[in-house]
Structure 1
Amino acid sequence: MSTLINQAAASRRQVWGAVASMAMCAAMLIASEFMPVSLLTPIASDLRASVGMAGQAISISGLFAVMTSLLIPSVASRLNRRYVLAALAALMLVSLVLIAEAGSFATLMVARALLGIAVGGFWSLATATIMQLVPEESVPKALGGLYTGNAVATAFAAPIGSYLGSVIGWRGVFWALSPIVVVNLVLLLTTVPSMPERTQQPSGNVLSLLRRPHVAFAMLAVMLTFGGAFAVFTYFRPFFETYTHADASELSFLLLGMGLAGFAGTYGASAVVNKRLYRLMMGMPVALAGVTLALLPAGHNLWAVAILVIVWGAINAAIPVAWSTWLSKAVRDKPESGGGLMVASIQLSIMLGAELGGALIDHFSIGAAFIGGVALMLFSAIIIGSGKRIQPDT
């Protein structure tokens, strides 16, 4: 009997060790994907590119994440999930090394494309993998652990990257991430149990959801909301440097405040989202647009900017909570396909938002990029309206 108990305990430890390894992978992917936001200016200077061009390093990863999220189910269904996850972590490692050694803008873009494949693949498979790993009653807890890695990276990656970039240079930051990813790769191979191939929905089922009007309207609203947010977020560093004239320590302070506010935003949204889902979904992009506009006249006052950026971070972090809740209610019959479509839509919006912001900065100003992002957010709120367009037919 004691042997059986010990085996069961060991099995539970391995399962939760696998969840922890995936949470670590999620954190490293988020950190790797958005680290250039805090290092945009020195990267552009070193690679002899404009700030707008350097911002495309964000958008190219989004493009490849979109393609991967739509195609990987048919590939992953033929392979052991443990090795798929490990391969995606290895791809992230290769990307980091290439970025650290990049001698040209073209090399940077190739490295970011590889990272996009890792991001799209991981997030498309994450929920289904968690559902295989743990009993049904433990899925919410396991998913909470997975997204904790996301929240930690969102809060700390940008300010730590900004600070370390001023100390060891932007290349040193990416070199510093590499050994952590090596550890994560080993943990994935040793903690994730063998998960042989299983039947998966073909990628066509993902896109077929767009035939449902409420899903099509919702995905358009998702893209406008996240696209508008990333047209702004991608270029916060040059805004802080040119408008606020923040030095390295002040820049880290602003980014850290924005990141930490995300915890409050996530908690606050979780507390009210079930009661006021559609009102929240319509109101948040309007609120984010308002805060973004307020940054422009307040941009020369450090403390005013700090307060506004903290509010911006809280609102921005609450948006994914609302959309995840919508997904669980509006696409109940095909949650995995809906999740894949959501990943593709968000990643595509990141690409287009960064592209729009970069073009507006290069041709006009940072203020124009912020106003462009505001316009997208307001269009999103108009589409959502009272919520009737994105509610399933009853």
Structure 2
Amino acid sequence: MTATTATSTTRATPVGGAVAAMALCVALLISAEFMPVSLLTPIAQDLHATPGQAGQAISISGLFAVLASLVIAPLAGRFDRRRVLLAMTGLMLASVLLIVFAPSFPLLMVARALLGLAIGGFWSLSTATVLRLVPSEEVPKALGTLFLGNAVATAFAAPIGAYVGGHLGWRPVFGGLVPLVLITLFWQARALPAMPPQAAIPMSRLFSLLRRRYVSRGMLAVMLTFGGAFTAFTYFRPFLEGALGVDANQLSLLLLGLGLAGFIGTHFAGNFLQRGYLYPLLLILPLALAATTFALTAGAGLFWAVAATLVVWGTLNAAIPVCWSTWLARELVDEPEAGGGLMVASIQLAIMAGGGLGGHLLDAFGPSAPLWGGAVLLMLSTLLIRRGRHLRRPSHR
């Protein structure tokens, strides 16, 4: 069978279930990646670590996600894409099982490394897989379905983790993911069609993009923006416990408000982007998020003030990925797959660095320090972005 025939056969297969199965996998990957945010304190106590060390569980997954996003995408072109995606889901299953039964902090970190490989590999292949599965006119809708899985996980994973963890312990939280991952693995095996190997993308193409000055500046701005956000976000639980003395129920409500606000941010970002405000948003959003992060520390001790500020924080934070995805589609239109892999690597590297920096600040200076550090990184990103002229392709200036 020729490559052309294989592609035609793939697209002739009903793919609604395949895209939905991928969206569920995305939701579970994001849930598993950020679940420790709401469980840092009990994980640290159970495994005899500090909260800052427990936060490195997010950093280690970010590190291995970076490696996977740079390596798996080029290698995947040599194999049936369906098998590669199933392998990534299988890695997630192995990771979650290891987390549930981890007797020590080092084994927890091994489990999180496996999760990072699954995250980086799956995300770096997701857009290219959708392009092979659906006709071009249906691509935006299919990608929207994937990002819906991301939004749902962001909204509900942390509050559910805080609530269940507060009543049953942190291990049952991850244990609850096991049957869901098994269902996803079975669904993908049934729904995903065979996708024969295509020409591989040389890894050199990813790094050659950095020779374009506007791309290297854009990726640095991405890292500062996401790094600042995750330096603060990763350590919201110790901050809220220290500043407000919240219990598990209150923490769950606060994180739920933050997560639900993300739907608002995504909606309004889309509206403003349709009106052509990409570069003003890239500048204003991190600056406003920095100000809101400072406001959180200023409102410490006032529950409703912190709750309202978290809603604003969640709204602003959710708008940022939408804007940078739009920048990628607009300015790297000639290299969407390589650019996508580079973007995933930059974001995961920022998550790793933010989690590491915030953990050191927490252990050294207290629960407010990660928020201050994150706000500083966000302000640095605005200095780099400025009016956005140097983030545009030369033909767009």
Same fold (TM over 0.5): yes
Checking the alignment, whether the CA contact within 8 Å between 1:223 and 1:348 is kept in structure 2 is yes
- Give, in whole Å, the separation in 1 of the partners of 2:17 and 2:294: 44
Q: What secondary structure does 1:14 align onto?
A: coil
1:240 and 2:256 are equivalent in the alignment: no
Checking the alignment, whether the CA contact within 8 Å between 2:11 and 2:134 is kept in structure 1 is no
Corresponding position of 1:346: 347
**What is the one-letter code of the residue matched to 1:324?**
S
Gaps of 5+ in 1: 1-7
- Give, in whole Å, the separation in 2 of the partners of 1:140 and 1:369: 36
Checking the alignment, whether the CA contact within 8 Å between 2:13 and 2:193 is kept in structure 1 is no
Please report how far the alpha carbon of residue 22 of structure 1 lies from its aligned counterpart in structure 2 after TM superposition.
0.2
- Give, in whole Å, the separation in 2 of the partners of 1:197 and 1:189: 18
Checking the alignment, whether the CA contact within 8 Å between 2:59 and 2:353 is kept in structure 1 is yes
CA deviation string 1:318-375 (max 9, x = no partner): 0000000000111110011111000000000000001000011111122221111111
Corresponding position of 1:258: 258
CA deviation string 1:283-328 (max 9, x = no partner): 0000000000011120111100000000000100000000000001
Corresponding position of 1:82: 82
Corresponding position of 1:3: none
Q: What secondary structure does 1:273 align onto?
A: helix
**What is the one-letter code of the residue matched to 1:261?**
A
Equivalent residues in 2 for 1:157-168, closer than 5 Å:
157-168=157-168
Corresponding position of 1:299: 300
Please report how far the alpha carbon of residue 83 of structure 1 lies from its aligned counterpart in structure 2 after TM superposition.
1.0
- Give, in whole Å, the separation in 2 of the partners of 1:74 and 1:125: 10
1:133 and 2:133 are equivalent in the alignment: yes
- Give, in whole Å, the separation in 2 of the partners of 1:41 and 1:273: 39
Checking the alignment, whether the CA contact within 8 Å between 1:73 and 1:202 is kept in structure 2 is no
Equivalent residues in 2 for 1:241-390, closer than 5 Å:
241-274=241-274, 275-390=276-391
Q: What secondary structure does 1:366 align onto?
A: coil
Q: Structure 1 length normalisation: TM-score?
A: 0.96
Q: Structure 2 length normalisation: TM-score?
A: 0.96
Please report how far the alpha carbon of residue 14 of structure 1 lies from its aligned counterpart in structure 2 after TM superposition.
3.1
Equivalent residues in 2 for 1:101-180, closer than 5 Å:
101-180=101-180
CA deviation string 1:44-67 (max 9, x = no partner): 000000000000000000000001
- Give, in whole Å, the separation in 2 of the partners of 1:152 and 1:135: 26
**What is the one-letter code of the residue matched to 2:129?**
T
Checking the alignment, whether the CA contact within 8 Å between 2:11 and 2:133 is kept in structure 1 is no
- Give, in whole Å, the separation in 1 of the partners of 2:193 and 2:41: 42
Q: What secondary structure does 2:14 align onto?
A: helix
Corresponding position of 2:3: none
**What is the one-letter code of the residue matched to 2:175?**
W
Checking the alignment, whether the CA contact within 8 Å between 1:284 and 1:319 is kept in structure 2 is yes
Corresponding position of 2:50: 50
**What is the one-letter code of the residue matched to 1:345?**
S
Please report how far the alpha carbon of residue 204 of structure 1 lies from its aligned counterpart in structure 2 after TM superposition.
1.4
**What is the one-letter code of the residue matched to 1:331?**
L
Corresponding position of 1:211: 211
Please report how far the alpha carbon of residue 200 of structure 1 lies from its aligned counterpart in structure 2 after TM superposition.
2.3
Corresponding position of 2:4: none
Please report how far the alpha carbon of residue 11 of structure 1 lies from its aligned counterpart in structure 2 after TM superposition.
7.9
Checking the alignment, whether the CA contact within 8 Å between 2:39 and 2:162 is kept in structure 1 is yes
Checking the alignment, whether the CA contact within 8 Å between 2:227 and 2:353 is kept in structure 1 is yes
Checking the alignment, whether the CA contact within 8 Å between 1:383 and 1:389 is kept in structure 2 is no
Please report how far the alpha carbon of residue 167 of structure 1 lies from its aligned counterpart in structure 2 after TM superposition.
2.0
Checking the alignment, whether the CA contact within 8 Å between 1:14 and 1:192 is kept in structure 2 is no
- Give, in whole Å, the separation in 1 of the partners of 2:159 and 2:14: 33
Corresponding position of 2:194: 194
Corresponding position of 2:394: 393
1:68 and 2:84 are equivalent in the alignment: no
Please report how far the alpha carbon of residue 166 of structure 1 lies from its aligned counterpart in structure 2 after TM superposition.
1.5
CA deviation string 1:193-235 (max 9, x = no partner): 0111111211210111000000010000000000000000000
- Give, in whole Å, the separation in 2 of the partners of 1:317 and 1:367: 22
- Give, in whole Å, the separation in 1 of the partners of 2:216 and 2:361: 28
Corresponding position of 2:5: none
The aligned length equals: 386
Checking the alignment, whether the CA contact within 8 Å between 1:78 and 1:198 is kept in structure 2 is yes
- Give, in whole Å, the separation in 1 of the partners of 2:194 and 2:370: 47
**What is the one-letter code of the residue matched to 2:35?**
M
Checking the alignment, whether the CA contact within 8 Å between 2:242 and 2:367 is kept in structure 1 is no
Please report how far the alpha carbon of residue 13 of structure 1 lies from its aligned counterpart in structure 2 after TM superposition.
7.5
Greater CA drift, 339-348 or 360-369: 360-369
